[in-house]
Amino acid sequence: MESSSLISFSLILCFTLLFFGSNGVEARSYSSISSLITENLYNSIFLHKDDNACPARNFYPYNAFIQAAKCFPKFGNTGDLDTRKREIAAFLAQISQETTGGWATAPDGPYAWGLCFKEEISPQSNYCDTTNKRWPCFRGKSYHGRGPIQLSWNYNYGPAGRAVGFDGLRNPEIVANNSLIAFKTALWFWMTEQKPKPSCHDVMVGKYVPIAADLAANRTAGYGLVTNIINGGLECGRPDDARVNGRIGFFQRYAQLFNVDTGDNLDCANQRPF
């Protein structure tokens, strides 16, 4: 169970973010993204998330997503209307690939099966980077993929927990047991710059400015760069990767549902990973 101090910290964080941007700039004009993604649209995007076949059945309700988004008021609230909708579609597409239960001949197609899993199946390790002394692993704990973004590694669980109000190193399991915290970790990862990587948010809203190393690595702005941020070491720099194609397929379907274009540079086949 979370300590009361961590719960209080989380509540203070959400309150602060609702009224002030990450740079301390007042953000009272920010509105709920529920005006752009209604519960009906959410359910039409995730047609099968609550099927009996999905291990995450009933774990990803609409209200948990909207409540989590309130803690990150710039998400889906930056730029013109198309930019706002495109970012939401991109986020939902990426978490769909991370949690997909679809297959080529699945009912309603492979891209109607996002949010089917809440935890990595049969992880091959405990995802502990012992060289990271700032966020040390705890004995007996596994930092494998959990939640919508499949948060992984101690160096992500630690800062994610500190940011949204749980002990990520001692209690990583909560990401697969608490729907609101699960969505908060995914949005934290999306919104947070982790140098040399930009934030996914900045890429999707046009605030990414490539440095010399990015230009040399052909890391051009677009949805493909978001894939590079999330899982580039395994998926980018290789042609016709099935996982990358899955991410694109989800994005194309969702963009159509949002009535917005996807933009350019959808894949990362020609990008070097970070």
Is there a catalytic annotation at residue 98?
yes
For residues 137 and 158, give the distance between their C-alpha atoms in angstroms, rounded to a whole number: 9
* CA–CA dist 172, 187 (Å, integer): 16
Between CA 68 and CA 183, with CA 101 as vertex, the angle to 5 degrees is: 10
Residue owning tokens 């992984």: 152
Q: Which domains does the chain have, with CATH numbers?
A: 21-117+179-258 (1.10.530.10)
Alpha carbons within 13 angstroms on the beta-carbon side of residue 136 total: 3
pLDDT 10s digit of each residue in the chain, 274 long? 333 344 334 444 564 444 444 433 333 456 789 999 999 999 999 999 999 999 999 999 999 999 999 999 999 999 999 999 999 999 999 999 999 999 999 999 999 999 999 999 999 999 999 999 999 999 999 999 999 999 999 999 999 999 999 999 999 999 999 999 999 999 999 999 999 999 999 999 999 999 999 999 999 999 999 999 999 999 999 999 999 999 999 999 999 999 999 999 999 999 999 9
- Given the residues 87, 98, 120, 235, the one annotated as active site: 98
- Between the alpha carbon of residue 72 and those of residues 56, 159, 185, 196, the distances in Å are 24, 16, 11, 22
The predicted pLDDT at position 77 comes to 98
Phi, psi of 30 (to 5 degrees): -70, 135
